[in-house]
């Protein structure tokens, strides 16, 4: 796999793996049990130069791409899925600033994220608007040269610790998705409140909250991009963030496979290590193959996004879909290989299974990813059959 990476990327991966093993693995179970945010590990991430690795150098970041970000996310998630989310959600929240912000806005907010001084959250989903982001009810109206935001958001990841929030609200409800705009809201702004924390099945060290806006007044200078361009900005952001979700899933799958292989090589039944039984070997072979295939697709999607290739959105959807489905299969099979020990918290494997499930759901459910992929395929096919000379098969008349 190293042949796909540059020496600099291999070194990033090595450093990230070392950091995760030394600082995260010893505390992963405790963070999962208590739900405490991993502040100490995040400080190590900042010291290693990984925070804001995706942010351009002129704004204090590492000047790297999505692939390098995915390498860090993969290694963190290989040890703790929650830590991988706590780190990568800062990329999700800051991509709208990178893509749609003015130079002044970038200089104002991005260095704070890159330095680790502030964390950022992404507030798009609502109780009645998840996959259907265009159905959001949050409103932003002009108010004497400023904006007033009213509404509620759901599933705001990182909300408990973030100081910056990228928020989407409709400035013209009559236009549907074309009436949505994007804003940056800072913690402490009057009218903005952090609501109840979600009691999640997995990724428990990440504070996911409802967020509420009631006559929340922000300067017009806090709007990202033009009015009505917020939905486009959100979709462009998600296209760039999905490889990171895929990398979370990939790391979880690899971490679970590592643990399972070690366990079956030592666990004895019927007078021998259970790894000697063909049924176990076949399970391991399938798991390893799935993980390696997912890695190829995740890296390809990240590289395509960095190069802004024409079909990178389709590849990002494929990577998220395949890697997260792989993570669920592999972590479930890994728990099976642990037998009864895979169902108790004395052993770490059940956490991987709980952490993996969310990767099939957030940042676009896998059902939505299949829609994205199919539409891209059919659009390509329609363009092909428009040219009769390229048609190689036709249905019977």
Q: What's the pLDDT at 295?
A: 98
The C-alpha atoms of residue 80 and residue 24 are separated, in whole angstroms, by 7
The burial of 6, by beta-carbon neighbours within 10 Å (0-12 exposed, 13-18 middle, 19 or more buried), is given as exposed
Residue matched to tokens 């002044």: 104
Residue matched to tokens 């003015």: 102
The C-alpha atoms of residue 99 and residue 113 are separated, in whole angstroms, by 15
The C-alpha atoms of residue 253 and residue 234 are separated, in whole angstroms, by 28
The C-alpha atoms of residue 213 and residue 223 are separated, in whole angstroms, by 16
What's domain 232-388's architecture?
Up-down Bundle (1.20)
Task: Look at strands 120-123 and 164-170 and give their pairing.
Answer: parallel
Q: What's the pLDDT at 388?
A: 85
Domain positions in the chain: 2-114, 120-228, 232-388
Q: Is the dihedral of CA 381, 386, 392, 397 positive or negative?
A: positive
The burial of 258, by beta-carbon neighbours within 10 Å (0-12 exposed, 13-18 middle, 19 or more buried), is given as middle
Q: Where are the alpha helices (DSSP H) in the chain?
A: 7-19, 28-34, 39-47, 66-77, 81-100, 103-114, 230-266, 278-306, 312-337, 349-357, 366-385
Q: What is the pTM for the complete model shown?
A: 0.96
Active site residue 104: no
Ranges under pLDDT 70 in the chain? 1-2
The three-state secondary structure class of 82 is: helix
The burial of 349, by beta-carbon neighbours within 10 Å (0-12 exposed, 13-18 middle, 19 or more buried), is given as buried
Q: Count Cβ neighbours within 10 Å for each residue of 172-196 and write b for 16 or more, e otherwise.
A: eeeeebebbbbbbbebebeebebee
Among the listed residues 187, 220, 182, the one whose alpha carbon sits nearest the alpha carbon of residue 100: 182
The C-alpha atoms of residue 122 and residue 168 are separated, in whole angstroms, by 9
| Token code pair at residue 199 | 């009691």
From the list 126, 363, 380, 397, the catalytic residue is 363
Same fold for the pair 120-228 and 232-388: no
3-class secondary structure per residue, 38-56: CHHHHHHHHHCCCCCCCCC
Q: What's the pLDDT at 1?
A: 61
Given 3.30.420.40, 1.10.540.10, 3.40.50.720, 3.40.50.12780, which CATH number is that of 2-114?
1.10.540.10
Which CATH class for the 120-228 domain?
mainly beta
Element (H, E) at 273: strand 272-273
């Amino acid at each position: 796999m190293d042949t796909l990476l540059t020496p600099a990327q291999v070194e990033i991966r090595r450093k990230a793996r070392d950091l995760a093993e030394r600082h995260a693995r010893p505390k992963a179970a405790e963070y999962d049990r208590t739900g405490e945010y991993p502040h100490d590990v995040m400080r190590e991430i900042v010291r290693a130069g990984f925070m804001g690795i995706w942010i351009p150098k002129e704004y204090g970041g590492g000047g790297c791409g999505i692939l390098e970000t995915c390498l860090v996310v993969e290694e963190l998630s290989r040890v703790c899925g929650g830590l991988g989310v706590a780190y990568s959600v800062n990329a999700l929240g800051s991509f709208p600033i990178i893509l749609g912000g003015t130079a002044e806005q970038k200089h104002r907010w991005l260095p704070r994220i890159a330095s680790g001084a502030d964390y950022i959250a992404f507030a798009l989903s609502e109780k009645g608007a998840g996959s259907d982001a265009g159905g959001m009810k949050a409103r932003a109206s002009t108010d004497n040269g400023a904006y007033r935001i009213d509404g509620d958001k759901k599933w705001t990841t990182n909300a408990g610790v973030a100081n910056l929030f990228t928020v989407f609200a409709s400035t013209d409800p009559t236009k549907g998705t074309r009436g949505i705009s994007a804003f940056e809201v800072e913690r402490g702004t009057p009218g903005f409140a952090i609501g109840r924390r979600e009691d999640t099945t997995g990724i428990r060290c990440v504070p996911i909250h409802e967020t509420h806006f009631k006559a929340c007044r922000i300067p017009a200078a806090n709007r990202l991009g033009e009015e009505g361009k917020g939905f486009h900005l959100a979709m462009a952001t998600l296209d760039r963030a999905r490889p990171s979700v895929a990398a979370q899933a990939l790391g979880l799958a690899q971490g679970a496979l590592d643990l399972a292989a070690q366990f079956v090589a030592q666990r004895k039944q019927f007078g021998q290590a259970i790894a000697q039984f063909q049924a176990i070997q076949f399970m391991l072979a399938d798991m390893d193959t799935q993980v390696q295939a997912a890695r190829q697709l995740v890296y390809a999607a990240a590289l395509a996004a960095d190069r802004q290739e024409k079909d990178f959105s389709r590849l990002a959807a494929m990577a998220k879909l395949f890697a997260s489905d792989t993570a669920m299969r592999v972590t479930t099979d890994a728990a099976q290989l642990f037998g009864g020990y895979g169902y108790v918290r004395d052993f770490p494997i059940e956490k991987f299974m709980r952490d993996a499930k969310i990767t099939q759901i957030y940042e676009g459910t896998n059902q939505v990813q299949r829609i994205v992929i199919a539409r891209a395929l059919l659009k390509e096919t329609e363009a092909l059959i428009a040219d009769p000379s390229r048609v190689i098969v036709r249905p019977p008349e």
